[in-house]
Structure 1
Amino acid sequence: MTPVRNIVLVHGGFVDGSGWRGVYDELTWDGLRVHIVQNPTLSLAGDVRATRRVLDGLDGPAVLVGHSYGGAVISEAGHHPNVASLVYVTAFAPDKGESVDSLTVGAPAPPVLPPADGFLLLDRDRFAGWFAADLPDQVAAFMADSQVPWGVDALRGPVAEPAWKHRPSWYVLATQDRMIPPPTQRMMAERAGSTVVEVIGSHAVHISQPAAVADLIRQAAAG
């Protein structure tokens, strides 16, 4: 099998694509061509369209990577013919008819503020402890103050047919994640048949440990 050279990175809720910078640097140093999707995070369907636009412009197959809510996006967008494999980074991997909202029922509730005009934000004062506990205080504070409002329609958008049923997948499981409990991550990874690597890290493990995340992406690219 010829190694894949294109990597497409999809961010999750409350943040934007800049969080992938460390992973981007790791992979581009290896000569991989890395593309970063900037999701509007207004609706799942809209974010899938944004991802497919990037995939449409590629010159060959790609590894499609999603963090957090981005896992729902790649589960829907991953049927694109340019997608060779999927990598979930402490991410949601919904089955048919599931959404981020349905997968969080019964789990400890993150400190999400009440919806305002159809958008969600995390409580600024509790952001670090829940989302970015292993990042420097100043970095976590900046992330809390630069949050991207997350559309309720994105949170509730169901996946029609998960691409992980048709593509090989890998999963980075963050053992200290509070946003997506590790048992939930493990359940999703196991039913998807993903190759799992456990990393001691928070929900922001792609920022705190970009080398570990990039290593798994390299494995997926190598086939």
Structure 2
Amino acid sequence: MDALRRAGYDARAVGNPLRDLNGDAATVAGFLKTVAGPIVLVGHSYGGSVITNAAAGIPNVKALVYVDAAAPAVGETTGALSGRGSALGANPATLYDRAPYAGAPRGAADLYLKRDVFTRDFASDLPKETAERLWATQRAASTSAFTTPSRAAAWQRIPSWAFVSTGDRIITPSSKLSMARRAGSKVTRFEGGSHLSLISHPGAVTAVIASAVCSVR
């Protein structure tokens, strides 16, 4: 973000409610409609599913960038795209702390990654102190966010870029590469990294975003 702003781009971080895919995408789409000029839309992790839906019907979105992210087709859920061998394939009771939240649909709950899962698998290439700080400040995501089927696949009409960390234990490299091939994305394979390479290796991620920006200037 800072590097993009220093380069003169109007970079913004749009709030993602993390409640359910349809509502989250509508929230982001509402913001996009207030932006004049071409948009390069970037999503990380579940945020990839959100931009895949939010960009549908927004003509100003000229490029999509998936940073270690899900890129669902219509009807797919984010939870089904982690890939064989993902750390998220373990027993949910060993992965998450669950908590109720106001207005939750029947059976839905907020999920917080457990400390050891977060530091070992989610942020595996970050210093332990940094990983634990991020764990302690993580935002909860509703189970509904990961089980709502995608209604759109904006990558079918919008050029896309995919940043794929080969050390990601949350969305496996093979799953991300499969989604990228399907979308016809321009792929950057980053050797190593983690699911949080955008924090541990921001320069590499920024370079991919900048490439997408240059394509629409």
| TM-score (normalised: structure 2) | 0.88
Q: Match for residue 42 of structure 1?
A: 19
Structure 1: state its 5+ residue gaps.
Answer: 1-23
SS at match of 1:135: coil
CA–CA distance in structure 2, aligned partners of residues 138 and 147 of structure 1: 14
Verify: 1:130 aligned to 2:121, yes or no. Answer: yes
Provide closer, same or farther for how the CA distance between residues 100 and 93 of structure 1 changes in structure 2, counting only shifts above 3 A. same
CA–CA distance in structure 1, aligned partners of residues 203 and 175 of structure 2: 24
Verify: 1:58 aligned to 2:35, yes or no. Answer: yes
Moved over 6 A (4+): none
Structure 2: state its 5+ residue gaps.
Answer: 89-93, 101-108
Verify: 1:96 aligned to 2:74, yes or no. Answer: yes
Verify: 1:211 aligned to 2:203, yes or no. Answer: yes
Q: Match for residue 14 of structure 1?
A: none
Larger Rg: 2
SS at match of 1:37: coil
- Measured against aligned partners, the alpha-carbon deviations of 1:23-49 in whole angstroms (never above 9, x if no partner) come to x11101110000111111011122112
Give the counterpart letter for 2:196 in structure 1: A
Verify: 1:179 aligned to 2:170, yes or no. Answer: yes
SS at match of 2:99: coil
What fraction of aligned residue pairs are identical, expressed as a percent?
Answer: 40
SS at match of 1:90: strand
CA–CA distance in structure 2, aligned partners of residues 163 and 138 of structure 1: 38
State the 1:102 CA deviation: 2.1
- Measured against aligned partners, the alpha-carbon deviations of 1:132-155 in whole angstroms (never above 9, x if no partner) come to 111121110011111211101111
Give the counterpart letter for 2:20 in structure 1: S
- Measured against aligned partners, the alpha-carbon deviations of 1:177-220 in whole angstroms (never above 9, x if no partner) come to 00011111111111110000011310001011111111111111
State the 1:164 CA deviation: 0.3
Q: Contact (CA 8 Å) 2:20, 2:144: kept in 1 or not?
A: yes
1:159 to 150, 158, 180: 150
Q: Match for residue 147 of structure 1?
A: 138
Q: Kindly report the root-mean-square deviation, in angstroms, between the aligned alpha carbons of the 2 structures.
A: 1.4
1:116 to 92, 99, 119: 99
CA–CA distance in structure 2, aligned partners of residues 109 and 218 of structure 1: 31
Give the counterpart letter for 1:76 in structure 2: N
| TM-score (normalised: structure 1) | 0.85
